[in-house]
């Protein structure tokens, strides 16, 4: 092995390796039309279970790892203040462009002591199950409204949802997260004016995730000079920030004008955050709204699609749901949602096969040796778990949707196999101190959506297999024209 400074490369063909890897990234390179996931998989095939992506245009070198044992080594040594890089454009925007709003960069971009102080402040609000349970009735009622909307927009003869159903789903996820983060309903179901702030916001969020890939994951010269994509990112972030700040400010005024203050036990997420610090509330609520649109709708799409493709599993789930929802319009409650093992197994299995994200970013917390390579402390690493999650060497029929493999009270061979696989193989919400802080709220939204949909409709998919494409997160690459037929009872 040849070591150059703090980098690591193979001794055979070092120069050719770097040149070829560099060249394929540009618009005229061989991967110019390939999805990012396909590119990384091809590199894996060519260079192995660990390889270096050379830094360029003021970006550092990055190691990509594909082995769960390496994931564990990195997570176990990240320290009490893990560093998660990868959002340089957002850091620039919040620190340089809009410090008037962002006294803190928030959990996504702060590091070290600043990150720890912010996380410590919001953890008691964001991570407590009892606070999440307060939102079950509201999200349940909203899902009932959305199902009425779905019946209205489906084709009356084919029962197929319209070509623009992904837009409808994005509106649902925006409205749902605003119920939680902003204490309000936006009222955006139905035909949305293309000139409205809500339509502009949803479009901006979509552009945001695409531009993150272009500017922060792929080679870009924006740190050298402001490219067109960089200027568009600054515009998009302005749209997102102004929308979120406006609604946070309105929510704060609304809460301050309340004459009957609720008990602390019944206070909303936003009320509790404002009580901690109004500035913290603004940043946290903004991040919740931004992170809660495309991510949740993509997760829901993954689960619904897998159930549509596997009607036998869908019926097993429906039978479980009938026990707690005897009527189609029976409400979900924190109590009856406490025992839904098959629902959670279906969601977990869908997230394994079609995940929302391909992996996680970290900086190594200490010097490591991975697969014979020396990885110095502070090296940026991308843990590519999406590939290990569908590895036949780890899971039998790895690409097949089999929720039963996650049922803990079963002693089937698949269940035993899953228990023996390293938990670091599959971490949909990350690991350790920097795991997703919105996990419990995301799970609530997904569980309510899937439960009410399956209890009320037979879901079918008669079109070619749905593909996903990578735009920082994985999003559907095709029209979501599911068929939904009414369940008798």
Q: Are residue 133 and residue 74 in the same domain, yes or no?
A: no
**Domain assignment present for 41:** yes
- What is the rounded distance in angstroms from the CA atom of residue 233 to the CA atom of residue 227? 10
Total structural domains within the chain: 2
| % of the chain exceeding 70 in pLDDT | 92
Q: Are residue 226 and residue 303 in the same domain, yes or no?
A: yes
- Do 142 and 179 touch, CB atoms closer than 8 A? yes
| CB burial readout 231-269, b (16+ within 10 A) else e | ebbbebbebbbbbbbebbeebbeebeeeeeeeeeeebbb
Q: Which helix (H) or strand (E) holds 269?
A: helix 269-276
- What is the rounded distance in angstroms from the CA atom of residue 70 to the CA atom of residue 159? 47
Q: Are residue 267 and residue 154 in the same domain, yes or no?
A: yes
3 state SS of 335: coil
- Over residues 37-50, the pLDDT tens digits come to 788 888 888 889 99
**Domain assignment present for 239:** yes
Q: Give the per-residue pLDDT at 125.
A: 93
| Mutual angle of helices 112-126 and 269-276, in 10-degree steps | 140
Q: Are residue 126 and residue 263 in the same domain, yes or no?
A: yes
**Domain assignment present for 318:** no
Q: Give the per-residue pLDDT at 13.
A: 37
Q: Are residue 81 and residue 152 in the same domain, yes or no?
A: no
C-alpha to C-alpha distances, 358 to 64, 65, 371, nearest whole angstrom: 12, 12, 21
C-alpha to C-alpha distances, 147 to 134, 167, 293, nearest whole angstrom: 22, 15, 18
The larger pLDDT score, comparing residue 367 to residue 250, is at: 367
Q: Pick from 335, 353, 381: which residue ends a domain? A: 381
**Domain assignment present for 294:** yes
**Domain assignment present for 96:** no
Structure tokens belonging to residue 355: 């995940």
- What is the rounded distance in angstroms from the CA atom of residue 291 to the CA atom of residue 258? 29
Q: Are residue 470 and residue 377 in the same domain, yes or no?
A: no
Q: Give the per-residue pLDDT at 37.
A: 78
Q: How much is the mean pLDDT over the chain?
A: 89
- Residue 469's Cβ-count burial label (10 Å; 0-12, 13-18, 19+) is middle
Q: Are residue 124 and residue 252 in the same domain, yes or no?
A: yes
Q: Which helix (H) or strand (E) holds 8?
A: strand 7-9
CATH of the domain at 288: 1.10.630.10
Check whether 6 has a pLDDT greater than 90: no
**Domain span at residue 18?**
2-87+362-381
| Mutual angle of helices 165-181 and 294-309, in 10-degree steps | 130
Check whether 23 has a pLDDT greater than 90: no
* DSSP state at residue 478: S
- Do 471 and 217 touch, CB atoms closer than 8 A? no
The larger pLDDT score, comparing residue 218 to residue 166, is at: 166
Q: Are residue 196 and residue 136 in the same domain, yes or no?
A: yes
- What is the rounded distance in angstroms from the CA atom of residue 243 to the CA atom of residue 245? 6
- What is the rounded distance in angstroms from the CA atom of residue 127 to the CA atom of residue 108? 16
**Domain assignment present for 424:** no
Q: Pick from 347, 381, 415: which residue ends a domain? A: 381
Reported confidence tier of residue 3, pLDDT bands at 50, 70, 90: very low
Reported confidence tier of residue 251, pLDDT bands at 50, 70, 90: confident
- What is the rounded distance in angstroms from the CA atom of residue 383 to the CA atom of residue 470? 15
**Domain assignment present for 98:** no
Q: Are residue 239 and residue 296 in the same domain, yes or no?
A: yes
Four-CA torsion 449, 403, 469, 457, nearest 10 degrees: -40
Supply φ then ψ for residue 370, to 5 degrees: -120, 120
Q: Are residue 32 and residue 148 in the same domain, yes or no?
A: no
**Domain assignment present for 232:** yes
Rg (CA), the chain: 23
Reported in sequence order, the residue ranges of 7-145 that DSSP labels E, i.e. its strands, are 7-9, 50-53, 62-65
Helix, strand, coil shares of the chain, percent, nearest 5, are 55, 10, 40
Q: Give the per-residue pLDDT at 22.
A: 45
Q: Give the per-residue pLDDT at 131.
A: 93
Could you please report the per-residue DSSP string of 52-75? Answer: EE---TTPPPEEEE--HHHHHHHH
Q: Give the per-residue pLDDT at 264.
A: 61
The arithmetic mean of pLDDT across residues 295-305, rounded, is 97
Q: Are residue 118 and residue 250 in the same domain, yes or no?
A: yes
Reported confidence tier of residue 107, pLDDT bands at 50, 70, 90: very high
Q: Pick from 381, 415, 435: which residue ends a domain? A: 381
Q: Are residue 83 and residue 116 in the same domain, yes or no?
A: no
């Amino acid at each position: 092995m040849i070591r150059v400074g703090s980098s690591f490369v193979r001794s055979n063909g070092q120069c050719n390796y770097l040149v070829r890897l560099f060249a394929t990234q540009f618009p005229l390179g061989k991967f110019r039309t390939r999805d990012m996931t396909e590119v990384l998989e091809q590199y894996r095939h060519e260079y192995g279970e660990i390889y270096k992506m050379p830094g360029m245009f003021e970006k550092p070198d990055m190691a990509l790892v594909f082995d769960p044992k390496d994931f564990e080594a990195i997570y176990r040594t990240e320290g009490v203040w893990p560093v998660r890089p990868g959002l340089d454009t957002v850091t620039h925007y919040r620190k340089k462009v809009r410090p008037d709003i962002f006294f803190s960069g928030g959990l996504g971009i702060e590091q070290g002591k600043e990150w720890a102080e912010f996380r410590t402040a919001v953890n008691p609000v964001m991570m407590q199950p009892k606070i999440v349970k307060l939102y079950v009735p509201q999200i349940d009622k909203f899902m009932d409204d959305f199902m009425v909307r779905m019946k209205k927009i489906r084709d009356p003869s084919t029962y197929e949802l319209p070509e623009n159903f992904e837009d409808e789903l994005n509106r649902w996820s925006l409205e749902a997260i605003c119920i939680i983060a902003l204490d309000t309903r936006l009222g955006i179901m139905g035909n949305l004016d293309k000139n409205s702030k809500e339509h502009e916001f949803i479009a901006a969020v979509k552009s945001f995730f695409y531009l993150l890939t272009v500017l922060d994951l792929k080679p870009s010269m924006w740190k050298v000079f402001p490219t067109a994509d960089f200027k568009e990112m600054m515009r998009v972030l302005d749209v997102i920030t102004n929308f979120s700040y406006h609604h946070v400010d309105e929510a704060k005024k609304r809460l301050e004008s309340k004459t009957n203050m609720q008990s602390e036990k019944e206070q909303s997420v936003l009320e509790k955050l404002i009580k901690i610090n109004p500035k913290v509330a603004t940043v946290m609520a903004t991040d919740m709204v931004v992170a809660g649109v495309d991510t949740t709708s993509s997760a829901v799409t993954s689960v619904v699609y897998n159930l549509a493709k596997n009607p036998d599993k869908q019926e097993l789930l429906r039978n479980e749901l009938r026990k707690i929802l005897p009527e189609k319009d029976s409400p979900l409650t924190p109590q009856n949602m406490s025992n839904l093992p098959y629902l959670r197994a279906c969601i977990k299995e869908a997230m394994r096969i079609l995940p929302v994200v391909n992996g996680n970013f970290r900086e190594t917390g200490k010097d490591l040796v991975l697969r014979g390579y020396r990885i110095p402390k502070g090296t940026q690493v991308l843990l590519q778990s999406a590939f290990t999650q569908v590895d036949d060497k780890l899971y039998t029929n790895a690409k097949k949707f089999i929720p039963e493999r996650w049922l803990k009270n079963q002693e089937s061979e698949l269940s035993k196999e899953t228990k023996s696989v390293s938990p670091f193989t599959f971490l949909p919400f990350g690991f350790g101190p920097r795991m997703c802080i919105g996990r419990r709220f995301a799970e609530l939204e997904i569980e309510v959506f899937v439960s009410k949909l399956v209890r009320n409709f037979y879901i079918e998919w008669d079109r070619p297999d749905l593909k996903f494409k990578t735009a920082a997160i994985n999003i559907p690459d095709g029209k979501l024209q599911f068929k939904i037929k009414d369940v008798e009872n």
